[in-house]
């Protein structure tokens, strides 16, 4: 979904607890990360992808751009959650123009919303391996209400929304840029504050996508319940400060119970994938998002799935501007992945 004219843009990842902005420029030596910035926002402004206070969120975005001297106003943003449906479908072979004319009819049987309430997009993947008369197509449907919400927010912040992407695609984009193509199944999993995106790819082709409502906010909620504190205080407790309000043992128990739930939910999603692709196996899981930093989670997930678990490095093949702190970027790398995936986009991309 493109709305602008210039090729260059800023990747703007608007999360429920953190907003990230990344700017990547083309150089003779390749792509260079010119700017990266992030700011935390108070809980409640954005919940489950719904923007509850557009003006306050817009002010945080404006301030983020001002404080970090981000002057480019063309941006790419992403959406996800249950208001977005991504599904691989099979249709009779036809050219892209013909499919553009018929996609609404094709989509009606797969979309659980009124077709007039969604924006549709698609990408032709190629011939159906099991039926040469058909082709496989990635169908993307996003509720117009959510798309308009994010367009209005970005415009309220004084920026130009050029691309509305899907979080799982942004994650795939950053992986494809930074890693060599492997002919094996790899699960890209982003654990955010309130939702988790799962994208299983093989040879840079996506096989399976799912969003689930779990994230780091669950840890904060359990801390609030036990310590009787605010969500802001819970965030500090989670990272080791204000330990007078809760014991280390209680904190470890909370984190352990939450990441156990995460692993169970992820395993359910992977089992569904295996039911569709019974001859396939997932050899590697690449993690991003704030939850990826939890060591106990990575270890348990590896045990539960019998797969190698790694942190994704979104800066792996990017040249870094001299003004950027590489040690800081190394610490926040998993959280930066979606914004980098968006910043790699260009307005004339499909």
**Interacting residues of 227 by C-beta distance below 8 A, sequence separation 6+:** 233, 234, 237, 245, 246
**pLDDT above 60 for 224:** yes
Beta bridge partners of 75: 10, 161
CA torsion angle for 311, 78, 80, 275 (degrees, to 10)? -50
Q: What is the pLDDT of residue 264?
A: 95
**Interacting residues of 154 by C-beta distance below 8 A, sequence separation 6+:** 12, 61, 75, 77, 160, 161
Q: How confident is the model at residue 7 (pLDDT cuts 50, 70, 90)?
A: confident
Distance between CA atoms of residues 293 and 332, nearest Å: 9
Q: What is the pLDDT of residue 1?
A: 46
Beta bridge partners of 209: 199
Query: Which CATH number is associated with domain 1-82+144-178+316-350?
Result: 3.30.420.40
**pLDDT above 60 for 84:** yes
What average pLDDT does the structure give for the chain?
91
Q: Would the CA dihedral through 217, 51, 337, 70 be positive or negative? A: negative
pLDDT tens track for 18-52:
999 999 999 888 999 999 999 999 989 998 888 99
Q: What is the pLDDT of residue 5?
A: 40
pLDDT tens track for 283-316:
999 999 999 999 999 999 999 999 999 999 999 9
Would the CATH topology of 1-82+144-178+316-350 be identical to that of 180-312? yes
Domain ranges in the chain are: 1-82+144-178+316-350, 180-312
pLDDT tens track for 317-333:
999 999 999 999 999 99
Q: What is the pLDDT of residue 243?
A: 63
Q: How confident is the model at residue 6 (pLDDT cuts 50, 70, 90)?
A: low
> What architecture (CATH level 2) is domain 180-312?
2-Layer Sandwich (3.30)
DSSP states along 171-237: HHHHHHHHS---SSEEEEEEE-SS-EEEEEEETTEEEEEEEES--THHHHHHHHHHH---HHHHHHH
Three-state secondary structure of 120-189: EEEEEEEEECCEEEEEEEEEEEEEHHHHHHHHHHHHHCCCEEEEEEEHHHHHHHHHHHHCCCCCCEEEEE
pTM for the model stands at 0.91
> Any idea what the Cα angle at residue 270 is, between residues 210 and 282, rounded to 5°?
115
CB count within 10 Å of CB 58 equals 19
Give CA separation, 10 vs 13, 90, 175, in Å: 10, 34, 18
């Amino acid at each position: 979904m493109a709305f602008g004219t210039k090729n260059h843009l800023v990747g703007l990842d608007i999360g429920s607890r953190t907003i990230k902005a990344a700017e990547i420029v083309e150089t003779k030596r390749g792509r260079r990360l010119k700017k990266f910035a992030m700011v935390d926002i108070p809980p409640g402004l954005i919940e489950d992808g719904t923007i509850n206070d557009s003006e306050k969120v817009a002010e945080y975005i404006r301030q983020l751009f001002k404080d970090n001297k981000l002057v480019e106003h063309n941006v790419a943003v992403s959406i996800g959650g249950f208001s977005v449906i991504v599904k691989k479908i099979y249709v009779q072979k036809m050219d892209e123009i013909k499919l553009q004319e018929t996609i609404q009819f094709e989509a009606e049987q797969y979309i659980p919303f009124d077709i007039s309430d969604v924006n549709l997009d698609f990408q032709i993947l190629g011939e159906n391996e099991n039926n040469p008369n058909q082709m496989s197509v990635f169908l993307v449907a996003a509720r117009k209400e959510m798309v308009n919400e994010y367009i209005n927010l970005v415009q309220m912040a004084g920026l130009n929304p050029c691309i509305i992407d899907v979080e799982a695609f942004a994650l795939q984009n950053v992986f494809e840029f930074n890693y060599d193509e492997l002919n094996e199944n790899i699960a890209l999993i982003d654990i955010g504050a309130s939702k988790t995106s799962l994208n299983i790819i093989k040879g840079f082709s996506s096989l399976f996508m799912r969003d689930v409502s779990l994230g780091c906010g669950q840890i904060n909620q359990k801390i609030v319940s036990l310590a009787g504190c605010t969500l802001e205080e819970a965030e500090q407790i989670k990272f080791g400060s204000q330990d007078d309000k809760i014991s280390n043992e209680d904190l470890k128990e909370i984190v352990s119970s939450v990441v156990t739930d995460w692993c169970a939910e992820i395993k359910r999603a992977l089992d569904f994938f295996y039911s569709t692709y019974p001859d396939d196996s997932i050899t590697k899981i690449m993690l991003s998002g704030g939850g990826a930093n939890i060591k106990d989670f990575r270890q348990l997930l590896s045990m539960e799935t019998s797969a190698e678990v790694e942190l994704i490095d979104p800066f792996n093949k990017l040249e870094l501007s001299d003004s950027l702190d590489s040690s800081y970027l190394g610490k926040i790398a998993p959280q930066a992945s979606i914004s980098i995936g968006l910043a790699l986009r260009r307005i004339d991309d499909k």
